[in-house]
Chains A and B, each alone.
Chain A
Amino acid sequence: MTLIAVTRATLFKDLRLEWRSKDAINSMLFFALLVVVVFSFSFDPNAEESRQIAGGLVWVAFLFAAVVALNQTWARELRNQVLDAYRVSPAPANSLFIAKALGNFIFVAVLEGLMTPLFIMFYQLRSLGPSWQLIPVAGLGTWALVVNGTFFAAMSLRTRSREIMLPLLLFPISIPALLGMVNATTAILTGELSARFWIVLLACYDVVFTIACLLLFELVLQAE
């Protein structure tokens, strides 16, 4: 049994379930849209102010919206206790984790793809730095959110108030990544500083936490 085959099957299954229910995407979109509109009307910033605050605003909106998706993705496995069917099978635990993390990455990336034009429009954003660097920042930042989010969502799966538990676990540990995402985005948008340091920090964060999650996930999966 290959890790890749089970990962692929689980990922496609999750994408199919999401395509049919649209639970995660709809909740995330609605939440992110609210943030964009409410903040836009609350602050009414000019172009320069927008460049200063947009990094923080965008990533906080994506972080909160991602939490919705992260809870949904595991909630599916709790209905009818389907997770037990995986646990009794010989399939590798890490296949489930990788598939869930990739699935969440796709969901959050879709959200980002749909919301970014709205952010640009509402906040009149125009990058003064090398805008191509926003692509690695988005990729690395999104992975940082979903890899830890997927892990901690699985950890809080059997707790009574998992919707509260996930942010409590996820937000503190995401602070270094969030700093990296916000500062890198602001640096690129304002063009005042180089974003390279923050991009390297994000890459290191991703590597460390991906390895840690992969090493620990089997314990989480088999916990009662």
Chain B
Amino acid sequence: MRPAPVKSSLTTPDLAVISVDGLAKQFGRFAALRGVSAEFAPGRLYVILGDNGAGKTTLLRCLAGLARPTRGTVAVLGQTDVHAVSAQIGYMAHPSLLYDEMSAMENLRYFAGLYDIRDDATCARVIAAVGLDATLARPVAQYSQGMRQRLSLARAILNDPQVLLLDEPFSNVDAHSAREMAGLLTRMRDSGKTILVVTHQASLLKNAADEFVWMEAGKITRRTATLQPMEAQ
């Protein structure tokens, strides 16, 4: 029997932007996700927490359409075929998803083309939004890890997505830049975007997050409005 979904701590139900029902993902004998059921409302910022191997990244990959569920369904913006709404999804992975040999602008110009965005101004705007210099000509290979992370975020928000899926956006980013990135995410949430952030640095989003989703051994174990309850345990 399918486990009942863990109830959201939020009291105002909205039409879900993301619905996950009985989602299971097996890698050989290893079950990365074991019957995850959840709904995520529009215009909210969710922080997904859990130990390594809890299934956070696999959940994001399933939502992005990069991993096919073994069982269960995923619906994003009402579509069970995630690729049909891929223009409305922004995805940032743990690796940078950038070409090391190209500059920031060259990278974003190429990825913008995949979303039918033809103007350099959009690329320059998102590069500036993450605190980088769009005129920087050096290749990404010469960037610091933090700069790569910020450029990776710029790539994810390039298409102005309705749903933003971010896997460890703050790793290796200095405290000041991380706060700026958190501020950017807050502004995006305020403009109506739905944002799911997998992070081990939840304190950065302590005030910005609408809900904290706790995962353990491939399941969502609880959803809380604040970071406190789990920390207290």
Contacts and interface: CB of A to CB of B under 8 A. Distances in A.
Shortest 5 CB-CB contacts between residues of A and residues of B: A89-B114, A9-B113, A91-B114, A85-B97, A81-B95
Interface stretch (B36-44, B62-70, B209-217): B62-70
A1 interface: yes
Contact of A88 (B91, B98, B113): B91
Most chain B beta-carbon contacts within 10 A, residue among A1, A20, A82: A82
Interface of A: 1, 5-6, 9-10, 13, 16-17, 20-21, 76, 79-82, 84-91, 222, 224
Contact of A17 (B64, B87, B91, B99): B99
Contacts of A90: 83, 86-87, 114-116
Nearest to B89: A88
B116 to A, nearest CB: 4
Given A84-B95, A222-B68, 11 more contacts: A1-B115, A1-B116, A17-B102, A76-B99, A85-B155, A88-B65, A89-B87, A89-B114, A89-B115, A90-B86, A90-B114
Interface residues of B, number: 28
A16 B101 CA distance: 9
16 contacts: A1-B114, A1-B116, A5-B113, A9-B113, A17-B99, A76-B99, A80-B97, A80-B100, A81-B93, A84-B66, A86-B114, A88-B65, A89-B115, A90-B87, A90-B115, A224-B66
Contacts of A20: 101, 139
A86 B114 CA distance: 8
Nearest to B86: A90
B66 A88 contact: yes
Contacts of A87: 65-66
A5 B117 CA distance: 11
A10 B99 CA distance: 12
Question: In terms of DSSP, what is the predominant structure of the interface of chain B?
Answer: loop
B110 A80 contact: no
Given A85-B111, A86-B114, A89-B114, A13 B91 contact: no
B84 to A, nearest CB: 9
B74 to A, nearest CB: 14
B160 interface: no
A22 B102 CA distance: 14
Contact of B97 (A1, A82, A222): A82
Most chain A beta-carbon contacts within 10 A, residue among B87, B89, B101: B101
B154 to A, nearest CB: 12
A76 B141 CA distance: 13
A16 B102 contact: yes
Contact of A224 (B67, B115, B155): B67
A85 B15 CA distance: 28
B80 interface: no
Given A1-B116, A80-B96, A88-B65, A9 B86 contact: no
Nearest to A85: B97
B102 A6 contact: no
B140 to A, nearest CB: 9
Contacts of B155: 85
A156 to B, nearest CB: 19
B110 A9 contact: yes
A60 B212 CA distance: 60
A88 B86 contact: yes
Contact of B99 (A82, A88, A89, A91): A82
Contacts of B168: none
B21 interface: no
A6 B113 contact: yes
Contacts of A84: 66, 91, 93, 95, 97
A5 B113 CA distance: 8
A222 B113 CA distance: 20
Contacts of B83: 90
Contacts of A91: 113-115
Contacts of B113: 5-6, 9, 91
A16 B106 CA distance: 10
Contacts of A1: 114-116
